[in-house]
Amino acid sequence: MRLKYSKLCTLLIIAFNIFLVYYTWKLFIGKTIGRSLKFSNNNAIAPVTEKSKPKDKIQSANKHIKKTITILFRDFYHFENDLKMSIESIVALIPSVQILVIYDEEPYPPMDYLRNYTVRNNVKLMRLGFDINKSAKFMSPIFQIRTKYVLILPDSVRLGGRSIIQKMLKEMGSTESHIDDASEKAIKKENSVRGPKNMLVVPFASNVRDFSSCCSINLDFANWTIEYSVINGSTHCDMFLQKHAIFIETTTLKEMPDPLSAPFPEFFYIQSKVAQIQLSPVLSTNKGLVVPAMQCPPSTLKTIFALVN
């Protein structure tokens, strides 16, 4: 009997010691954690936020541009052009960006150098014309574009940086939400679903500033006449005369009958006039979108001509 009581006392003492050790350990750990949490807010535990590196910002900008914009070359000399340097300058700035080169006749010199780019499938060559083996969809370059916007460039172009393209995107977004009241009433019914149709014009830094670049177009279908008038403003501009780039939505291009037909861009602006596409005010130097947006070497600058005296 005494042996049973002694065993019971031993078990109770062991259990009490275990409970005492556990309680002491728990109290000690709790005080240690409490001290560690009594730091100032500056030293408090917080999510680690690292500043993005310049390289990461560039990669992010390039990724956004590649998903949003397709660059298209349409207006260039077939017998002598600067396409090689133009494409190389763009690809060096924005690698793997989608580029379309549209032509009526085989350019000279031959564009064999583009094979390196076509292997990576970022530069495509398309010849306009009839092909009995292709459907209308595959013969039209517009339906090969998968991005939201198209940047139409002439020959001999040098981008001054990615910021010019980013500002085009920002400017296009602002023009989609601000419309002239008179124009809004005229096309309210047509654009009630997808909003107004508009495009941006980006002039080159090498353009002659004293030369009037804005032109209005008056169409008289009954008498088969077109009247061009040079105006000193950009509020109601229907056509830009000096060297420039055109930034437009792909859906807007698809609504035009044949936007890339020759002569380009003269016939393009006639179609945009008929389609009531608003030419947004020409981007000015006050917004930082011209200098040094796009530069053309003086030696390869094309002769600027106007359709009116």
pLDDT digits (tens, 9 = 90+) for 256-278: 989 998 889 999 999 999 998 88
**Whole-number Cα distances in Å, 155 to 84, 152, 260, 297, 300:** 10, 10, 15, 11, 9
In this prediction, residue 192 has a pLDDT band, given cuts at 50, 70 and 90, of very low
Residue 28 lies in a domain: no
In this prediction, residue 30 has a pLDDT band, given cuts at 50, 70 and 90, of low
Residue 123 lies in a domain: yes
Average pLDDT, the chain: 74
pLDDT tens string 41-57: 445 445 555 566 777 78
Report the pLDDT value the prediction gives residue 47, as an integer from 0 to 100: 52
Residue 39 lies in a domain: no
Residue 45 lies in a domain: no
More confident site: 204 or 37: 204
In this prediction, residue 120 has a pLDDT band, given cuts at 50, 70 and 90, of low
Containing domain of residue 90, as a range?
54-300
**Number of domains composing the chain:** 1
d(CA 192, CA 13): 86
pLDDT of 305 above 60: no
Task: For residue 129, give the CATH number of its domain.
Answer: 3.90.550
pLDDT tens string 56-109: 788 888 889 989 999 999 888 777 888 888 888 898 899 889 999 998 887 777
Residue 239 lies in a domain: yes
Residue 137 lies in a domain: yes
